[in-house]
């Protein structure tokens, strides 16, 4: 658990980064409304109420000398008492809930205002996305801890899947495991049997599980989002499904080992396209995205053919190659020493994948 002083130091460093952006763009202030950006700036303070909303009822206003969190009389007590935002370096600017609306204009009278999205001011969304994508040491510490929690939640849930329970039952168990660990399940997907083959984003249904199930999770804690997928089969996995799983695992291993500083996300798309073709599934590149960089969003930037976003040390990624009926996904961190698998599960079966002599075990389908 990080101390308040450690988190305050992180906030201070991020405010300095923001103020440098303001100086470069000749702006006097920036208003931040996006939940992901607020989580990044505040070192993980939960400013959201509706977990499905991309914007927050709290706004930050950062000037050259002041750092405000603008909120109302509903949110202010929690932010002050539980989140201790004033000790983190913020000033609370509070209005009654029925009088909200113009504090930004009062606190930043200048027209030289930036915003983290479309609006009347300069759009700094790209700058904010760039800043939040490369993680500080304190963020990496939280990421490692929370990734272990996400892996534990998935491990418990996938081993609890039973024949005859519905997909909703499996989803409820996965969500409960996440909440028990202090996280928020912002994406929970469950498919069983033929639905695993038919849909890449299978929202859970009342369908009973017969022999085969896939569980997908995006786990958010302290603002950071960890993604992973696991598969379970009752009885021996059929040979054709096993071949697909091994092919998908090799694609995943190539993506993970290919995650290197200096390459672009466009390069990673090309790597995935070639890997699918080598495995005999060239169509798979067009049937679903392959993932990309991650952090305060499930995907910060998705790998596409024309994306020139460079990969850098201390960035998080979640590749998710899939072939009809199988998928392979873990969250990873690129460090100075190479790639670290954040969501590896002790005791979960793996496939002994090796690429050009480099071992990269990937999750197998759990046989029950």
CATH number assigned to the domain with residue range 137-367, chosen from the 4 options 1.10.3720.10, 3.30.420.40, 3.90.230.10, 3.30.1330.50: 3.90.230.10
Q: Which regions of the chain carry the CATH code 3.90.230.10?
A: 137-367
Residues 273-323: pLDDT tens digits?
A: 999 999 999 999 999 999 999 999 999 999 999 999 999 999 999 999 999
Tell me what the pLDDT averaged over the chain comes to.
96
pLDDT above 80 (res 186): yes
52 vs 172: which has the higher pLDDT? 172
Residues 218-245: pLDDT tens digits?
A: 999 999 999 999 999 999 999 999 999 9
Q: Phi, psi (5° rounding) for residue 58?
A: -105, 140
Q: Write the CB contacts of 69 (distance below 8 Å, at least 6 apart in sequence).
A: 42, 47, 58, 59, 60, 79, 85, 90, 91, 92, 93
pLDDT above 80 (res 109): no
Mean pLDDT of 350-362: 97
The closest alpha carbon to 313, from 138, 125, 137, belongs to 137
Please tell me the predicted confidence (pLDDT) of residue 258. Answer: 98
Residues 127-170: pLDDT tens digits?
A: 999 999 999 999 999 999 999 999 999 999 999 999 999 999 99
Please tell me the predicted confidence (pLDDT) of residue 1. Answer: 79
Residues 190-222: pLDDT tens digits?
A: 999 999 999 999 999 999 999 999 999 999 999
Please tell me the predicted confidence (pLDDT) of residue 103. Answer: 78
- Give the pTM: 0.96
The DSSP H or E segment spanning 187 is strand 184-192
The DSSP H or E segment spanning 84 is none
Q: How confident is the model at residue 101 (pLDDT cuts 50, 70, 90)?
A: confident
pLDDT above 90 (res 336): yes
Q: Which regions of the chain carry the CATH code 3.40.350.10?
A: 4-133
pLDDT above 80 (res 111): no
Q: What percent of the chain has pLDDT over 90?
A: 93
Q: How confident is the model at residue 106 (pLDDT cuts 50, 70, 90)?
A: confident
Scan for tokens 């606190």, then name that residue: 107
Sheet with 184-192: strands ordered across? 184-192, 212-221, 224-233, 366-367
Name which CATH class applies to 4-133.
alpha beta
Please answer whether residues 197 and 327 qualify as being in contact, where contact means their C-beta atoms are separated by less than 8 angstroms. no
Please answer whether residues 47 and 34 qualify as being in contact, where contact means their C-beta atoms are separated by less than 8 angstroms. no
Q: How far apart are CA 25 and CA 126, in angstroms?
A: 13
Q: How confident is the model at residue 99 (pLDDT cuts 50, 70, 90)?
A: confident
Please tell me the predicted confidence (pLDDT) of residue 102. Answer: 75
């Amino acid at each position: 658990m990080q101390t308040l002083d450690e988190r305050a130091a992180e906030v201070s460093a991020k405010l300095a980064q923001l103020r440098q952006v303001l100086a470069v763009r000749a702006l006097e202030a920036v208003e931040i409304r996006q939940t992901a950006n607020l989580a990044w700036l505040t070192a993980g303070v939960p400013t959201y109420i509706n977990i499905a909303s991309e914007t927050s009822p709290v706004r930050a206003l950062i000037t050259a000398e002041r750092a405000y969190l603008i909120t109302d009389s509903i949110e202010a007590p929690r932010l002050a008492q539980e989140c201790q935002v004033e000790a983190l370096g913020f000033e609370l600017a509070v209005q009654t809930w029925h009088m909200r609306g113009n504090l930004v204009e009062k606190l930043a009278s200048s027209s030289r205002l930036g915003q983290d999205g479309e609006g009347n001011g300069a759009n700094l969304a790209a700058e904010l996305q760039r800043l939040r994508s490369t993680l500080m040491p304190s963020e990496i510490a939280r990421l490692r801890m929370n990734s272990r929690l996400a892996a534990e939640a998935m491990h418990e849930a996938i081993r609890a899947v039973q024949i005859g329970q519905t997909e909703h039952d499996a989803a409820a168990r996965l969500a409960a495991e996440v909440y028990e660990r202090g996280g928020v399940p912002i994406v929970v997907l469950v498919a069983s049997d033929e639905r695993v083959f038919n849909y890449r984003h299978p929202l859970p249904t009342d369908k009973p599980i017969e022999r085969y199930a896939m569980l997908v999770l995006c786990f958010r804690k302290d603002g950071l989002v960890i993604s992973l997928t696991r598969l379970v089969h009752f009885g021996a996995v059929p040979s054709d499904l096993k071949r697909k799983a091994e092919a998908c695992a090799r694609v995943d291993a190539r993506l993970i080992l290919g995650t290197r500083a200096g390459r672009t996300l466009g390069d990673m798309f090309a790597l995935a396209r070639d890997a699918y073709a080598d495995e005999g599934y060239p169509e798979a590149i067009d049937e679903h995205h392959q993932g990309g960089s991650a952090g305060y969003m499930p995907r910060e930037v998705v790998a596409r053919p024309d994306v020139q976003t460079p990969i850098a040390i201390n960035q998080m990624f979640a590749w998710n190659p899939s072939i009809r009926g199988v998928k392979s996904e873990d969250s990873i961190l690129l460090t100075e020493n190479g790639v670290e698998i954040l969501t590896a599960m002790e005791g979960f079966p793996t496939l002994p994948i090796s690429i050009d002599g480099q071992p990269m075990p990937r999750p197998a389908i759990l046989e029950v």
